[in-house]
Amino acid sequence: MSVKLKEARSIRATNTPLAEGDVRRIAPAAFSTQAGPNTLSKYQHICTADAIGLMQEQGYVMTFAAQQRAESQLADQAAKHLIRMRHESLFDAAPKVGDSVPEVCFVNAGDGSSQFWVYIGRYRFICTNGLMAGDTVGTYGLRHTGPTLAQQVKDMLKEISEKTLPTMEEQVRSMQSRLLTEREQVQFAARAISLRWPEGTEAVSTNMVLRPRRDADAANDAWHVYNRVQENVIMGGFQAANTSRNVRNLEQVSSVVRVNRSLWDMAVRLAA
């Protein structure tokens, strides 16, 4: 009899980087060396753990892991998952680098539902929330054929260092310097709500997702507006309208990636 695994799972590093054992428990598919049972014969699986190991050789540590819910133990070994990594020199360096630091985000699956994607993100210490840049920064796909995985990771890190991170830093500065009118904030919040609830919802208003959770996020520049909207839309936790229930956090890896990246691109374009 199959065992249904209804809940998505995630874990975030606190005082120390994530240990491999903890990540294995939350995202076992990241360590699976076999493709899922329903993949095509030509499909060649890239094990996420191999990429993690190559990143660790370059001084990166794991800071977050999540895995999509699966219907059975067998499917759980190939489910879509998300791993975030940060250079060890930035793990607890918030006072030196400001309120956020860059991270590399792996999204992969062994069931053929996803290419091995690499996105660039930022981690905000003030809210322990993981942002994810969108198409305005760039993405990387690790190929199942062609150059070796080691060479692909080496090339990727070189491009991230020389091109991607400077672009992201410039976008952050642009957002920080662009003050938004009340109308612009409401419009941004409305588009953010439609990203998570494309069929519409009466339970969440623009005021709810614009509400800061801490005084430090109350500013009206595009960076702070984006951050508080992103946190509220992704994390939920506030009371829905006309009910005693709280809005749930966004769990599925695919949805988290889609909404997160779209919000970044919206904010960048608004600040341009």
Using CA atoms, how far residue 41 sits from 36, 58, 131, in Å, is 11, 33, 36
pLDDT of residue 179: 97
Measured in residues, the chain has a length of 272
| Mean pLDDT value across the chain | 85
Residue-wise pLDDT tens digits, 8-27: 588 999 889 999 999 999 99
Amino acid at 264: W
pLDDT of residue 128: 62
For residue 87 the two structure tokens come to 């250079």
Q: List helix spans (H) across the chain.
A: 20-26, 48-57, 73-76, 94-97, 149-159, 165-177, 182-196, 206-210, 222-235, 253-271
Its pTM stands at: 0.84
Domain locations in the chain? 9-148, 178-271
Residue numbers in the chain where pLDDT is lower than 50? 1-6
pLDDT of residue 98: 57
CA distance 230 to 188: 11
Strand partners, 229: none
Q: Which of 29, 27, 21, 25 is nearest to 75 (CA)?
A: 29
Residue-wise pLDDT tens digits, 146-169: 678 888 888 999 999 999 999 999
For residue 240 the two structure tokens come to 């829905």
